[in-house]
Amino acid sequence: MTIQDRRSVVGIFRHPDSWMEAASSLRATGVKGLEGWAPFPVHGMEKALGLKRSLIGRPVLAMLIIGAFLGFFMQYWMMKVDWPMNLGGKPYNSWPQYVVITFEMGILCGALTNFMLALATSQLSPRLHNQLWRDDLGDDAFAIAIPLHAANPGEQELRQLFARHGAEEIEIHDTQADTVADLARAARQRGIQRGEQHA
């Protein structure tokens, strides 16, 4: 897939139902790289946007099991091998007393793995300036962006598709601009392009 530029044709919607219907319909037309933005979670948005189930759960489960095993083995080694103590005549490796620590070690390892993987895969690393490319995306606007690359129709065709699916506004944006500097660069590029069109 050859990228022509970083710009995308963006359709703005004001209601979540129309936004999800448009996303499902646009995906059915075969456009590639469709992305969506919503100011709050909407039930069914993963299916509408074609998002696959996250694979984070598998390594988290694996680390949970490993953590539980290590917690159990740590207690067994302490009580049976390293410092055996006779507690009320119970056997040295009385497993019922290990249950709580085994459970807690499993949860700890699973939770830490989940946190680190979620942070890495969501690309939400801290930055000096985090800013959306459109201010009302955090308020009341729902957006669908289709990148301008070779696998997708041209700009005019995408505008027509958005209009057909009920977009209230249709714009061109650099949706990858996530810092103030990127937004300023994208604004300069739009100004240059408008000047070239008028010339």
- The first and second tokens of residue 140, run together, are 């009341």
pLDDT at 11 over 70: yes
- The residue from 97, 122, 147 where one domain ends is 122
Q: In this predicted structure, what is the pLDDT of residue 179?
A: 46
146 contacts 9 by C-beta, under 8 angstroms = yes
**Which segment of 90-94, 123-127, 180-184 scores lowest on mean pLDDT?**
180-184
- Compute the average pLDDT of residues 58-86: 92
Per-residue DSSP letter, 79:
I
Three-state SS at 11: strand
pTM of model > 0.85: no
Number of domains making up the chain: 2
**Helix, strand, coil tally for the chain in percent (to 5):** 55, 15, 35
Q: Which amino acid is at 27?
A: R
Q: Domain containing 71: what range?
A: 57-122
> CA-to-CA distance for 27 and 152, rounded, in angstroms?
11
- The first and second tokens of residue 79, run together, are 């009580």
Tell me: do 193 and 142 sit in the same domain.
yes
**Digit-coded pLDDT (tens) for 114-166:** 999 988 887 766 665 555 666 677 777 888 888 887 777 777 888 888 888 88
